[in-house]
Amino acid sequence: MAIAPDGLATPPKRARHRRIVLTLIGLAVGAVAIVVIAQLAGGVSEAVEALRDVDPAWVVAGLGCEAVSYLFIAGHLRRLTGSTPRFGFGAAVQLALVVYGLGIITPASPAEGLALGAAELRRRGMPRRRVFLALGLSEWFSTGTLYAIAAVDLIIAGSLADLHRDERSPAIAAAATVLVLLVLVTVLASRRTTVQLATRFWHWVLFWRDSPPPAVQQQQAFELYDEGRDVLGSRWNRIVLVVLVAGAWLADGLCLNCALIAAGVHVSFDVLFLAYSVGIIAAEVPLVPGGFGITEVAMPTVLHHYGVPFAPALAGALVYRALGTLVPAGAGALAAISLRSVRHPSEVLHTDPAGAWDLDAPELDAPEHDDPELRPGAAPGR
């Protein structure tokens, strides 16, 4: 359950009802998907029998891998938000659980998880633009690295002949195309002109608002570009950011591996990460919280395609979802409560999480600080 920041008005009843309806629709779709895959596995009884035979030792190992994954995410967020006294590594771990644990099971994932994280960072006095850049870049690194891992894994699987013969050439060509597009998008996004065009497009999309003059838009773009470079830091820091988020994905993939081994399934790592990548990408289907049901269909289907029986594949996928989705979501709910229980001198009581993404909105109730690094608008030091 999302924890609303203090001082925020309760959402309108109609909005709450709409969210409940969308959530129920998503859960219904997921439940139908699980029933379908269970029938393909030989019936619900076969899937339940496979779950009974799960090895608890490997379940514990999978939980350890998932914990390591969130430590990597916390380190990634800490580097993007800045190493300041008000946001230590412990708080970064809790924020990671809120954004990517609790937030991932919300109907509007990942937007809702990012909004929860933005509200917490704004409450700690972090400037709005810094919040926007830190969490936005975190999502960019996360998504881009996942697709890069999936593409490299597909190339490896094709090269090792683990893919079926008729799949190898199309798969390798598709993977190479994804890698080229990722490099191209990264190069374009790092240019000042691209940021300027994106700023103009942003104002064009928000056509109902009064847009500032072109000169002001250009100045906003330049400030956003310069602060983005400050958030990313040196080239070495950017490499570390990629390594950390890649470590998080790989540790999460090893959690799936442990879950499959617990269910008696042994596959090569290239097939493992192929099933993992397909399942995670499938989880991005709109309206379905956390991809519930969709991932449980996608992973066993890919594994079965490469020779794994449905029943143990489904059991492994269900164990992984418990370890990689339900446990972090529960921990994220506790982390949200823990974070909200701590008051900060720089707390902004009336911050709108949606407003945290509005680069033109003025800072609200921003406190004054003697330390120039803690003043609103100043980027935290590293």
Q: What is the pLDDT of residue 249?
A: 95
The dihedral sign for the CA sequence 358, 362, 366, 372: positive
Domain boundaries, given as residue ranges, for the chain? 23-357
Q: What is the pLDDT of residue 178?
A: 93
- What totals of helices (H) and strands (E) does the chain contain, helices first? 14, 0
**What does the pLDDT look like over 6-48, one tens digit per residue?**
433 444 555 555 555 555 555 565 556 556 655 555 555 666 7
Share of the chain residues as helix, strand and coil, in percent rounded to the nearest 5: 75, 0, 25
Cβ-based neighbours of 335, under 8 Å, separated by 6 or more? 93, 94, 95, 97, 98, 101, 102
Q: Which residue has the tokens 């009974």?
A: 52
* Cα–Cα distance for residue pair 29/293, rounded to 1 Å: 7
Contact 321, 62 (CB under 8 A): no
Burial (CB count <10 Å: 0-12, 13-18, 19+), residue 204? exposed
In the structure encoding, which two tokens stand for residue 228, read together?
């983005």
pTM over 0.85: no
Q: What is the pLDDT of residue 166?
A: 84
In the structure encoding, which two tokens stand for residue 124, read together?
């700690």
Cβ-based neighbours of 106, under 8 Å, separated by 6 or more? 2, 112, 113, 289
Continuous segment of H or E residues that includes residue 251: helix 235-262
Q: What is the pLDDT of residue 344?
A: 56
The dihedral sign for the CA sequence 51, 54, 56, 57: negative
Cis peptide before 328 (omega within 30 of 0): no
The dihedral sign for the CA sequence 190, 191, 196, 200: negative
Low-confidence ranges of the chain (pLDDT < 70): 1-47, 83-86, 108, 285-289, 342-382
Contact 274, 302 (CB under 8 A): yes
